[in-house]
Amino acid sequence: MNTFSYTRANDVADAVQNGSVKTNFKFIAGGTNLLDLMKENVERPDHLIDLSRITLKEIEDTADGGLRLGALATNANTAYNQKVEERYPLLSKAILAGASPQLRNMATNGGNLFQRTRCYYFYDLATPCNKREPGSGCSAINGYNRIHAILGTSEHCIATHPSDMCVALAALDAKVNVTGIHGEKVIDFADFHRLPGDQPQFDNILEPGDVVTSLDLPKNNLSKHVTYLKLRDRQSYAFAIVSVAAALELDGDVIKDIRVALGGVAHKPWRIKSAEIALIGKAATVENFKVLAENLLADAKGFGSNTFKIELAKRAIVRALTEVAKAI
Amino acid sequence: MKTDYIGKPTSRVDGALKVTGTAKYAAEFSADGLTYGYVVSSTIAQGTIKKIDLEEALNLKGVLQIFTHENVSGLAWFDRSYKDEDAVAGSPFRPLYDKKIRYSMQPIALVVAETFELARYAASIIKVEYTTESHISDLKENIPNSFKAPKGKVGFKPPVSRGDAKEAFENAPVKIASEYIHSAEHHNPMEIYATTVVMEPDGKLTVYDKTQGVSNCQAYISKIFGLSAKEVRVMSPFMGGGFGSGLRPQYQLFLAVLASLELKRSVKVSLTRQQMFSFGHRPASVQQMALSASPDGTLQSIAHTAYGETSMFEDYTEVVVNWSGLVYQCENVEQKYDLVKLNTYTPLDMRAPGAASGFHAIESAMDELAYALKMDPLALRLKNYAERDQNDKKPFSSKALRACYAEGAAKFGWDKRSIEPRSMREGNNLIGWGMATGSWDAMQMKATANAVLTADGKLTVGSGTSDIGTGTYTIMTQIAAETLGLPIENVTFKLGDTLLPEAPLEGGSWTATSVGSAVQSVCTTIKEQVFKLAKKVKNSPFANADLKEVNFDNGEISLKLNPSKTLSITDVMKQSGKVSIEEEATTMPNPIHMLEYSFNSHSAVFVEVKVDEDLGTVVVSRVVSAIAAGKILNPKTARSQILGAVVWGISMALEEDSVVDNNFGRFINHNLSEYHVAVNKDINDIEVIFVEEKDDVINPLGIKGLGEIGLVGVAGAVANAVFHATGHRVYNLPITMDKVLGLSE
Amino acid sequence: MLDFFKQASGSHETTLAPPPAEPAEVRLNINGQQHTLQIAPWVSLLDALREYIGFTGTKKGCDHGQCGACTVLVDGVRINSCMTLAIMRDGQEITTIEGLSHGKELHPMQKAFIDHDAFQCGYCTPGQICSAVGLINEGKANNLEDIKELMSGNICRCGAYTNINAAIIQVKGEVQS
């Protein structure tokens, strides 16, 4: 870990102001990933701006019947919040599938968006990694890539985004509220994270100094038929090999609304809206779910030790939707 | 009897210290002016250090020194000075010895600074330039360069063949042959390796080290740094898990002592979790098994070949294949064990070394043979039950494996199993039942214990052994208390200190037998002394009695035939004017028995798995482990040891995988996030059975040790259960979902 | 093979590495007692406890939030003390394993761990116990399956999980009755 100075921000304006005058700084909230990376010398900020005392911890109704999640509410408080449990159980399930109780008690909703990949090579300074050192090369493409991406990859990077929560946020069409030097902006969750392309060092589209203040969940009718299916190499406390956030709104057995987002397979939560829309008005059958799975994985590409994920992801999608369709 | 503790469930005597956080581990000792060391690890696997630039780091205020191969010299010259009690053939690794890099993550520098954070920071700004050479890291690819495993390691017996396995295999009507690949595993005890060296005012060193053998470390340090035993005291009162990783001195011990002597300061060096992947490990292996049988299941031949990895500088050996010739009756056995040199640190005994991997192959092959024969897997094992050790041509001192099979099968409900794979189902899950046999050596080593009985009736017993979580403190206290008939709270057992009499390394499941025998012996001697005094006190009720005619119980001596005639031990001491009685005893195994018998513990493991048919995920839902290991000293801690070993087996079968990236010759998943060990959620019902096994030959206590046996059969039983569930046999560990689905090998 | 020393050696281009940040005052209420430390911001709460105050009951098992050995309670909530800076916890109430017992009187969870032999080497034990106390405070574990899931952030390499769960069930029963 390098040396750094520390500032505690009193409010969002203070955080933005501090960010505007400092270079090579990082915001810290829960710290559960940033400190991990700093101890590995992967992140080497000169300044830390602590957001954790800012009072953005509320979870409250929005005017249009949705829910606003404070960026600094912890993952645990969000998952166990009664409104979230009742109206957005998919989010609760996804959060509770990730990390450990202790980490969920520390990690914040905003911070969750900024988790960095678990790629072995990104973490290991002994190996080249384009995400860590642009231009140095990607060790995973011809290396051990069990936990790596099969979708949206580039010749520069095949890292995955490790969050479970974000997979549910993607499925739920969340919006990210951001305050930056140039004022406030709202970003569709689908646009928040980016694919690696030739700049894998950037995980998302934010500008330096942007502070995520809250996440908005729009109103939906997706509280009954939901599941978060997470496949991993042990039963708990492990990152996803493949995960599926699945939600259905059914009229009898006819699909009125459907959401499927995948985790563990790409540089961002993976969702193809057109594939979902194609199923609206159709019956909730295994055959139709298989069509969706094929469409979602149509462009998938394996790199050796992760090639099995293509078939596994398809099976997981079908399983998740089949379970969800059965649920009352 | 009130103080007969042996065989009774007894809570750990060190329990209160552990649950309150007051038990101190190696990195938790402090000293005035304590400094902190941080290790820099190599990023390449083979080559040389061209340049190591320390300037920036040394310029930081509070950085005291940085040790590298360029400034460390004047140490012992010959290999023998670096050989420890558990050393293998070859040249032991010497930290900071020369510019040569022999494996990835080799320690290349130690930064010593006033604080931990500063040392860590300084380590991060050291610039190292290497000349990289090509490395060798792929075991399977390098099998053509394998060579016969040499002797050199204590306890290693090269395998011996008998009969003609090739011909028997050719002619047999039923046969199977298969290959098993295991990747390396790392011990990963929860406590990270650490050493705190306290520089005493007189210049002597008190070393708190994470080790399974304080005297091993003391000798190692003394030889290398030219110190006398009096100048180095090594202590290890508590050890946060070992599993074999502490059998050899780890490099942080060397580095901490080096820094302390050079700087004349107290130094603490703690590795990182990542660096826990930079030393010994269970070696990767490739095994080939060929079995043949007659139609009734009688084994016609066993052929077992194993290739194990070793380092470029030493030849690590373990007993992998010999179990094949031991555990089943068979006239034609071919056993071969070869090594392959790789750019890796020398492997190191890891819980049930050799047996854990060897039995996975043997028992998977037996299962496969049972299916080829259309025979119940348990019936096949009973058909080929070995009454004698055919490897060494000796009888067993005791062998209650039949009882393990019978009691384990009954508890598990094995008789309700349908032999057909894929015949049991529950929703999306296929259910499978599998079983396996296990065996381990029941060894005893030379050990010494001392004991002091004081006038207040308190007994302190000591031996320089270790309690790595196995319960040594507790069982030794039980043995001492019962032998002398004292309430357990009046007995204190001390260990992990080179001022105590020497004990063997804590490993191989021999601590209970070795140190237990010494404790029993020294307490018996004290008992005899007390009785001598008791006979002489005024109006002694025992004046004409023999030791055999009295009981020592609850602090009192009484006549067996007239229990009202008593004298308390404290009275005897007082009336004899004795302040204390002090004795020392050394025990070793009976050499005649050693020649005449084979000593082994045994197990039968029964496992139920639930395998998701579509997703390939495996849950071990039920385990019954039946153990035959002689007398059980403490059923409470013994059960825990077997429970934990079963967890190890599940973890080994399904999760543990130290992945080498052959592009870098480096373990790439070197942390607890990506090197998976079993978590709470992975573990379901585990039932432990200790079958009755009386053994009058092995040692006076009739005990065999429990550290390894609980692990041995588990991975095989899990693999066999997965086959029974799915009809698809996964040969390579760990059994992950992709392998179960046949999507990966 | 690449000669990759640049990545391994930090990215600072100046010849002089920046000196460590100045120590700042951090006040921690630990087990009901106020501790005022002068420490640099890079000190984790875990290292503050172990190295700067001497509360070595809280263990370092990985230093990366991957094992749970460092679990403490902050304002009654269980967290990994390795993954937070001490300075971020300024003014907060921290309970460590040392604060659960009162003199010789053990906390019911500590006693249950001894009764059920819920540990072997003892190194993960303080973290397990603090985590178990946190779990009961949270009130989300209603059965054995819940306990197993919600105790999975604490690795026990000795494999004492069966007994850990039995101890927690015993204490949960006591809490409810």
Digit-coded pLDDT (tens) for B17-47: 999 999 999 999 999 999 999 999 999 999 9
Complex confidence, ipTM:
0.98
State both tokens at B246. 């502490």
- Mean pLDDT, rounded, for A153-162: 98
Query: Would you say residue B233 lies in a domain?
Result: yes
Task: For residues B508 and B400, state if they share a domain.
Answer: no
Task: For residues B547 and B630, state if they share a domain.
Answer: no
Task: Calculate the alpha carbon distances from B511 to B246, B459, B468, B517 in Å.
Answer: 14, 21, 11, 9
Question: For A91, what's the count of Cα atoms within 13 Å in the CB-facing half-sphere?
Answer: 32
Q: Pick the more confident residue, A159 or C177.
A: A159
E strands, chain C, where?
A: 24-30, 33-39, 71-74, 77-80, 93-95
- Mean pLDDT, rounded, for B265-278: 98
- Mean pLDDT, rounded, for B341-370: 98
Number of domains in chain A: 2
A170-180 pLDDT, tens per residue? 999 999 999 99
Amino acid letter, B620: V
Chain C partners within 8 Å of B108 (Cβ): none
Least confident of B463-467, C15-19, C22-26, C49-53: C15-19
What percent of chain B shows pLDDT beyond 70? 100
Computed over every residue of chain A, the mean pLDDT equals 97
State both tokens at B136. 């060798």
Instruction: Decide if B186 touches A, using CB distance below 8 A.
Output: no
C-alpha torsion sign, points B130, B135, B137, B138: positive
C152-176 pLDDT, tens per residue? 999 999 999 999 999 999 999 987 7
Instruction: Decide if C80 touches A, using CB distance below 8 A.
Output: yes
State the pLDDT confidence band at B187, using cuts at 50, 70 and 90. Answer: very high
Instruction: Decide if B325 touches C, using CB distance below 8 A.
Output: no
Amino acid letter, B518: A
B99 exposed, middle or buried (CB, 10 Å; 0-12, 13-18, 19+)?
A: middle
Interface test with B, best of C161, C165, C170 (most B CBs within 10 A): C161
Q: Which contacts qualify for C29-34: CB closer than 8 Å, 24 or more apart?
A: C29/C91, C29/C92, C29/C93, C29/C94, C30/C55, C30/C94, C30/C95, C30/C96, C30/C99, C31/C94, C31/C95, C31/C96, C31/C98, C31/C99, C32/C99
| Contact at CB, B59 and C158, closer than 8 angstroms | no
- Domain boundary, last residue among C44, C79, C99: C99
Q: What's the CATH code of the domain at B268?
A: 3.90.1170.50
Whole-number Å distance between alpha carbons of B274 and B658: 12
C106-141 pLDDT, tens per residue? 999 999 999 999 999 999 999 999 999 999 999 999
Active site residues of B: 708
Instruction: Decide if C94 touches A, using CB distance below 8 A.
Output: no
Chain B partners within 8 Å of C148 (Cβ): 680-681, 683
Residue with tokens 């998977």: B364
Task: Calculate the alpha carbon distances from B37 to B63, B199, B472, C48 in Å.
Answer: 10, 15, 31, 17
Q: In chain C, which ranges are continuous DSSP H helix?
A: 5-8, 45-47, 108-115, 125-138, 144-150, 161-176
Choose among A31, A41, A236: nearest Cβ to C88: A31
B586-606 pLDDT, tens per residue? 999 999 999 999 999 999 999
For B44, name the nearest residue in chain A, comparing CA atoms only. A126
pLDDT at C11 over 80: no
State the pLDDT confidence band at C103, using cuts at 50, 70 and 90. Answer: confident
Instruction: Decide if C123 touches B, using CB distance below 8 A.
Output: yes
Task: For residues B112 and B45, state if they share a domain.
Answer: yes
Number of domains in chain B: 3
Query: Would you say residue B9 lies in a domain?
Result: no
Chain C partners within 8 Å of A126 (Cβ): 4, 7-8
Q: What's the CATH code of the domain at C166?
A: 1.10.150.120
pLDDT at C4 over 70: no
What percent of chain B shows pLDDT beyond 90? 99
pLDDT at B340 over 70: yes
Chain B partners within 8 Å of C17 (Cβ): 56-57, 59-60, 121, 125
Please compute Rg for chain B using Cα positions: 27
Phi, psi for B604 (deg, rounded to 5): -130, 125
Whole-number Å distance between alpha carbons of B426 and B90: 54
Query: Would you say residue C35 lies in a domain?
Result: yes
- Mean pLDDT, rounded, for B343-353: 98
Query: Would you say residue A157 lies in a domain?
Result: no
Domain of C59 in residue numbering reads as 24-99
Query: Would you say residue C19 lies in a domain?
Result: no
Task: For residues C82 and C135, state if they share a domain.
Answer: no
Task: Calculate the alpha carbon distances from C77 to B203, B489, B584, B679, C169 in Å.
Answer: 46, 37, 51, 21, 20
Q: What's the CATH code of the domain at B555?
A: 3.30.365.10
- Mean pLDDT, rounded, for A46-75: 97
Instruction: Decide if C159 touches B, using CB distance below 8 A.
Output: yes
Query: Would you say residue A189 lies in a domain?
Result: no
pLDDT at B62 over 50: yes
Query: Would you say residue A21 lies in a domain?
Result: yes
DSSP B416: G
Maximum CA pair distance of chain A? 60
Query: Would you say residue A61 lies in a domain?
Result: no
| Contact at CB, A35 and C10, closer than 8 angstroms | no
- Domain boundary, last residue among C69, C99, C129: C99
Task: For residues C31 and C94, state if they share a domain.
Answer: yes
DSSP string, B170-234: HH-SEEEEEEEEE-BB----SSPPEEEEEE-TTS-EEEEE--S-HHHHHHHHHHHHT--GGGEEE
Query: Would you say residue C162 lies in a domain?
Result: yes
A253-263 pLDDT, tens per residue? 999 999 999 99
H/E stretch holding B366 = helix B355-373
Instruction: Decide if C121 touches B, using CB distance below 8 A.
Output: yes
Whole-number Å distance between alpha carbons of B745 and B736: 10
Query: Would you say residue C3 lies in a domain?
Result: no
- Domain boundary, last residue among B254, B272, B290: B272
Computed over every residue of chain B, the mean pLDDT equals 97
- Mean pLDDT, rounded, for B539-553: 96
Query: Would you say residue B348 lies in a domain?
Result: yes
Query: Would you say residue B346 lies in a domain?
Result: yes
Task: For residues C40 and C91, state if they share a domain.
Answer: yes
The answer to whether A39 touches A63, Cβ cutoff 8 Å, is no
| Contact at CB, C122 and B238, closer than 8 angstroms | yes
For C11, name the nearest residue in chain B, comparing CA atoms only. B125
Instruction: Decide if C18 touches B, using CB distance below 8 A.
Output: no
Give the residue among A263, A294, A289, A308 at the shortest CA–CA distance from B741: A308
Domain of B217 in residue numbering reads as 31-134+189-272
Task: For residues C137 and C87, state if they share a domain.
Answer: no
| Contact at CB, A235 and C20, closer than 8 angstroms | no
Task: For residues B694 and B727, state if they share a domain.
Answer: yes
pLDDT of residue C174: 82
Task: For residues B377 and B250, state if they share a domain.
Answer: no
Number of domains in chain C: 2
Domain of A274 in residue numbering reads as 225-326
Residue with tokens 């296990």: B438
Whole-number Å distance between alpha carbons of B62 and B115: 8
Choose among C8, C11, C154: nearest Cβ to A126: C8
Chain B partners within 8 Å of A236 (Cβ): 679-682
Chain A partners within 8 Å of C19 (Cβ): 3
Whole-number Å distance between alpha carbons of B328 and B386: 5
C-alpha torsion sign, points C1, C3, C7, C9: positive
pLDDT of residue C5: 35
Task: For residues B180 and B197, state if they share a domain.
Answer: no
H/E stretch holding B652 = helix B635-654
Task: For residues C67 and C128, state if they share a domain.
Answer: no
Whole-number Å distance between alpha carbons of B523 and A3: 58
H/E stretch holding B119 = helix B116-124
Chain C partners within 8 Å of B679 (Cβ): 152, 155, 161
State the pLDDT confidence band at A328, using cuts at 50, 70 and 90. Answer: low
Mapped onto helix, strand or coil, the DSSP state of residue B36 is: strand
Query: Would you say residue B550 lies in a domain?
Result: yes
pLDDT at C3 over 80: no
Query: Would you say residue C77 lies in a domain?
Result: yes
pLDDT at B552 over 60: yes
Give the residue among B441, B361, B356 at the shortest CA–CA distance from B157: B441
Query: Would you say residue C158 lies in a domain?
Result: yes
Choose among A125, A236, A311: nearest Cβ to B679: A236
| Contact at CB, B655 and A319, closer than 8 angstroms | no
Q: What's the CATH code of the domain at C65?
A: 3.10.20.30
pLDDT at C12 over 50: no
SS (H, E, C) chain A: CCCCEEEECCCHHHHHHHHHHCCCEEEECCCCCHHHHHHCCCCCCCEEEECCCCCCCCEEECCCCCEEEECCCEHHHHHCCHHHHHHCHHHHHHHHCCCCHHHHHHCEHHHHHCCCCCCHHHHCCCCCECCCCCCCCECCCCCCCCCCCCCCCECCECCCCCCCHHHHHHHCCCEEEEEECCEEEEEEHHHHECCCCCCCCCCECCCCCCEEEEEEECCCCCCCEEEEEEECCCCCCCCCCEEEEEEEEEECCEEEEEEEEEECCCCCCECCHHHHHCCCCCECCHHHHHHHHHHHCCCCCCCCCCCHHHHHHHHHHHHHHHHHHHCC
Task: For residues B619 and B643, state if they share a domain.
Answer: yes
pLDDT at C14 over 60: no
pTM greater than the 0.95 cutoff: yes
Whole-number Å distance between alpha carbons of B122 and B53: 12
Query: Would you say residue B434 lies in a domain?
Result: yes
Task: Calculate the alpha carbon distances from B321 to A54, B181, B288, B706 in Å.
Answer: 63, 14, 10, 21
Residues making up chain B, counted from first to last: 745
Instruction: Decide if B192 touches A, using CB distance below 8 A.
Output: no
Give the residue among A92, A97, A102, A115 at the shortest CA–CA distance from A29: A115
pLDDT at B404 over 60: yes
Q: Which B positions 13-42 lie with beta carbon below 8 A of chain C?
A: 14-25, 27-28, 30
- Domain boundary, last residue among C65, C99, C133: C99
